[in-house]
Amino acid sequence: MKKIQRRSFIRKSATAAAAGALAAAVPASALGEEKKSRIVVVHGNDIPKMIAVGIEKMGGWGKFFKEGKKVALKPNLAWKSTPEQGGNTHPDIIRAVILAAEKAKVKQIVIPENTCHSERETFPACGVLDAIKGTGAKLYRPKGNDYVSVEVPKGKICKKARVTRDLIEADCLVNMPVAKHHGGAMLTLSMKNWMGAIDNRTRQGWHRQGLHQCIADFSTYLKPTLIIIDATRILLDRGPQGPGPLAHPHEIIFATDPVAADAYAATLFKKKPADIPHIRIAAELGVGCIDLDKVEIVRVEV
């Protein structure tokens, strides 16, 4: 256990250092007192192209996928829902990312997802089986020993969690949720998506102890290398399961700051980011920047 923490600590400091180095490369005029968060919003209809353009604006795949490294993807595939119904991350996005990772000759691609409906129902329905077809990506639902216990040092309520081992051991962790309405958490965005990274007992514990605080607590621990939020179509009500009324922003959001990404995505639902408790608490815990005025939003049309 300690070993993992140390490893993840080293990894995190390395990413922080990399981020620092990157910030240094940005012209000094762009830097205020604090390091400015930056998100890329791509609008369009051609998903593979949107991904390619968005990543290019984020600095290119080379920044995230390195040869011989392990890549973990965490899409949201919780419910039996077709790609059109918007309950899950669009399979085309998953495929585009897998293909990019294979092109970068990464060592391994894993897609662990603790579903809500049985994986036997959700995986075939949501199109992900087609998305991984012909690739080396390993899609599975973690059970039993696939989880490890970790401590969440900065957590207020959630101090311990059982997390999918593959996610914390990955060199590159891509959080790729779908943006949708959620009965309990108000919205499902990138931080809420970690509820598919923990085991059912931890998940139920969060509901018992205060969902928003726990989501925010956990986001201080598990830091994604890259966030890709699927907002090509968004479920406006009857979430998280759906089906329900949809809107079609036709957007994909790219970021490294989970709070900034979620804050922007919340505006697609015509909500103020601070009105979503877990986003507000996460910002207070220093996970990221909630003030969209201070976030550099790069908009691209494809």
- Interface with other proteins by CB under 8 A: which residues? 80, 116-121, 123-124, 129, 141-144, 182-184, 199-201, 203-208, 210-211, 238, 240-241
CB of 220 closer than 8 Å to CB of 285: yes
Minimum gap (Å) between residue 58 Cβ and other proteins: 32
Pairing of the two strands 172-176 and 226-235: parallel
Q: Which is nearer to other proteins, 44 or 205 (CB)?
A: 205
Q: Which is nearer to other proteins, 201 or 248 (CB)?
A: 201
Ranges of beta strands (E only) in 44-100 are 70-75
Q: CA–CA separation, 223 vs 114, rounded Å?
A: 18
Tokens representing residue 285 in the block: 């815990």
Q: Which is nearer to other proteins, 216 or 260 (CB)?
A: 216
Minimum gap (Å) between residue 175 Cβ and other proteins: 21
Q: CA–CA separation, 118 vs 254, rounded Å?
A: 29
The C-alpha angle with vertex 19 and arms to 15 and 23, in degrees rounded to 5, equals 170
Minimum gap (Å) between residue 152 Cβ and other proteins: 18
Q: CA–CA separation, 127 vs 150, rounded Å?
A: 32
Q: Which of 201, 230, 197 is nearest to 81 (CA)?
A: 230
Minimum gap (Å) between residue 115 Cβ and other proteins: 8
Instruction: Taking each helix axis as running N to C, give the angle between helix 47-58 and helix 91-103, from 0 to 180 degrees, rounded to the nearest 10.
Output: 50
Ranges of beta strands (E only) in 14-77 are 38-43, 70-75
Q: Which is nearer to other proteins, 157 or 297 (CB)?
A: 157
The C-alpha angle with vertex 183 and arms to 229 and 148, in degrees rounded to 5, equals 65
Q: Which is nearer to other proteins, 51 or 215 (CB)?
A: 215
Count of beta carbons in the 10 Å neighbourhood of residue 278:
25
Q: Which is nearer to other proteins, 52 or 157 (CB)?
A: 157
Pairing of the two strands 138-140 and 108-112: parallel
Residue 101 C-alpha from the chain's centroid: 16
The C-alpha angle with vertex 53 and arms to 269 and 19, in degrees rounded to 5, equals 85
Minimum gap (Å) between residue 201 Cβ and other proteins: 5
Bond preceding residue 245 cis, omega within 30 of 0: no
Q: Which is nearer to other proteins, 24 or 129 (CB)?
A: 129
Minimum gap (Å) between residue 95 Cβ and other proteins: 16
Minimum gap (Å) between residue 291 Cβ and other proteins: 24
Q: Which is nearer to other proteins, 148 or 292 (CB)?
A: 148
DSSP bridge pairs for 172: 71
Minimum gap (Å) between residue 186 Cβ and other proteins: 10
